[in-house]
Amino acid sequence: MKYNLKSLVLTIGLAIFAVIKASETAEVENAADYFVRTLPGLPDSSYLKSHAGHVLIDEQSESYIFFWLMHNLHIADNAKLIIWLNGGPGCMDGVFLETGPFRVNKDQTLRPFYGSWNEYANVLYVDQPVGTGFSFTNQDFYVRNATQVPQQFLLFLDKFFEIFPEYSQDDIYLAGESFAGVYIPYIADGILKRNIESNTKYNLRGLVIGNGWVDPSTQYPSYYDFAIANNLLDGDYKNLAELQLKECNEALKKTVAIKIDACEQILNTILENSRKRIGKVDTCINQYDIRDHSDSYPSCGLKWPYELDTVYDYLRRPDVVKDLHATKKKELWVECDNTVNVRFNGDQSPPSITLFPEILKQIKILLFSGDQDIICNYMGTESMIKNLEWNGYKGFQNNTKLLWYVNDTLAGHIVAERNLTYVKIFNASHMVPYDVPLATMDMMYRFMGLDHHIVNKFPSKVESEEFDDDNNSNSEHKDNNEIWNHYYDAGTTTLIIVIFGVLGLAAFIFRGKIMGKIRRNTKQGMRVNTEETNEMDNFGIETQLSGDLDHFGDSDADDDDTQKLNNHQEKYHDEEKR
């Protein structure tokens, strides 16, 4: 009896212990525990709803991935979730330098930033793979090749949606830049395959890659082409780069991997050729923005953007780390973790371009390139598209470039066909959202099918006109007279069509006046709707999602950044705010 009593007490004790541990686990996986209740430096007049913290993806190795979810300021009819990844590998700086809602001032206060992607979409920033940003592992759970990336990412994504199930059926867009051009297609491939093979399905609708590293076989040789086009090589350095280009092409014939050491030397030669002595410092061009020549050699852009020191100071503050629930990682935050980077050395995974044909059969892809970047330059991207075969054809069959204007300024041009959209963005670096935030926000919302007339507080349009800037590497674009010359050379037939069109339009207007004010207003409303549909279709030609428009409420313009972020806060109820 005594023995049985001891056993009973022991059993009860173990049961209580199990309940306590289960309760602790449940608390960790409660969304409320990730709610960011305050953020140091945030203006009193501003409010940002966000969740952040660590998600355990592997218990044995004690591996955690950090996320920061920025909630949308205005709600769309059809919820959108953008998942943002930076490159490196091992880097993360998208929140405060690119697509996030705030910028860090030198005095460590935050200022609202109009141009963030969370105006009409939830944006999830993920420090991945393990070791990036606030993510970490206490053992060796690092990713060693691109094929392992989707495995680790899906571990995180499944856990994230367990904590936040309300987002699991949103329209998902994977977005990022640079080495994310490797991550994103591999992750997308993993999600699409699992959607077929299992009951866990996510609504992946599109991929967005800016200045991405996708196809070494075309992007490595483009270093030389871009340098020649921008007068970045001369003399002995030019001769050396030509020799290195030949060696690179020979290496690419033998094997095509994500990184080819023989090809890396071309960029090093270009940077060395730009070396100049200014005072006591050797400077060089910025490999991410050739307009900049202020960084020291051999850094050549690694210290850029120059606001990085301010971001470092902010994300290393104990109060910030605590408020972001990032205290599990003992090491201080760094923009790029070299441990993650070196683990990819020797990676023989196929380049991500090999995944494009199958992905493009199922979802749409947007590639955008800032024209001032050399390391993942637009020439390499355009050459890659020219050589890519997808959905029955090789390259774009119709190379008509659509002119894209933002705030009445020519922002770039667009070519779109068979689920693939390419946007060349003028006067922009490797980090395009850093340079032209309004343009990239407009681009992203158009790609997702949002009505830009409603969601934007600034004018933007896409014009279906032919445009040729192949010989314009300095972004000095054609004036109105040159564009009109296309029409003057079109021939008598086109001229006759234009004349009849003008006469027909005049007749229509005259008829409208006769029909009266009510009828005229009705016709005008119909023309506006037609124009909206055409512009949206132009940005995503022939995609199955191009007609899937969402509709929103207020879109009044306001010039003050702080006011823009707070216009609708009274309408936005936060059930978790205390």
Q: Is 295 among the catalytic positions?
A: no
Query: Are residues 542 and 419 in contact, defined by beta-carbon separation less than 8 angstroms?
Result: yes
Q: What distance in Å separates the CA atoms of residue 462 and residue 10, rounded to the nearest whole number?
A: 73
DSSP class of 570:
T
One-letter amino acid at 88 equals: G
178 included as an active-site residue:
yes
369, 208 Cβ separation under 8 angstroms? no
For 165, phi and psi rounded to 5 degrees?
-65, -20
Cβ-proximal residues to 311 (8 Å cutoff; 6+ apart), any chain: 93, 96, 97, 104, 335
Three-state DSSP state, 559: coil
DSSP string, 471-495: T-TT-----HHHHHHHHHTS-HHHH
Which letter, b or e, does each residue of 219-237 get, where b requires 16 or more Cβ atoms within 10 Å of its Cβ?
bbbbbbebbbbbebbeeeb
Query: Is 468 a known active-site residue?
Result: no
Element (H, E) at 135: none
Q: Assess contact for 90 and 336: CB atoms under 8 A.
A: yes
- Beta strands per DSSP E along 409-502: 409-417, 420-425, 460-463
Q: How far apart are CA 436 and CA 434, in angstroms?
A: 6
What SS3 class is residue 253? Answer: helix
Q: Which of 50, 63, 116, 178 is catalytic?
A: 178
Residue identified by tokens 């998942």 is 83
Catalytic residue among 54, 430, 452, 550: 430
Nearest to 438 by CA among 463, 413, 460: 460
CA angle 415, 417, 422 (to 5 degrees): 35
Beta bridge partners of 91: 336
Find the catalytic residue in 171, 215, 373, 550. Answer: 373
Is the previous residue joined to 305 through a cis bond, with omega within 30 degrees of 0? yes
Q: Token pair for residue 503? A: 């006469």
Partners of 104 in beta bridges: 110
Spatial CB neighbours of 574, under 8 Å, sequence gap ≥ 6: 47, 49
Q: Tell which phi-psi region holds residue 133, choosing left (phi > 0), alpha (psi between -120 and 50) or beta.
A: left
Q: Is 578 helix (H, G, I), strand (E, B) or coil?
A: coil
| Residue 552 CB neighbour total at 10 angstroms | 15
Active site (catalytic) residues: 178, 373, 430
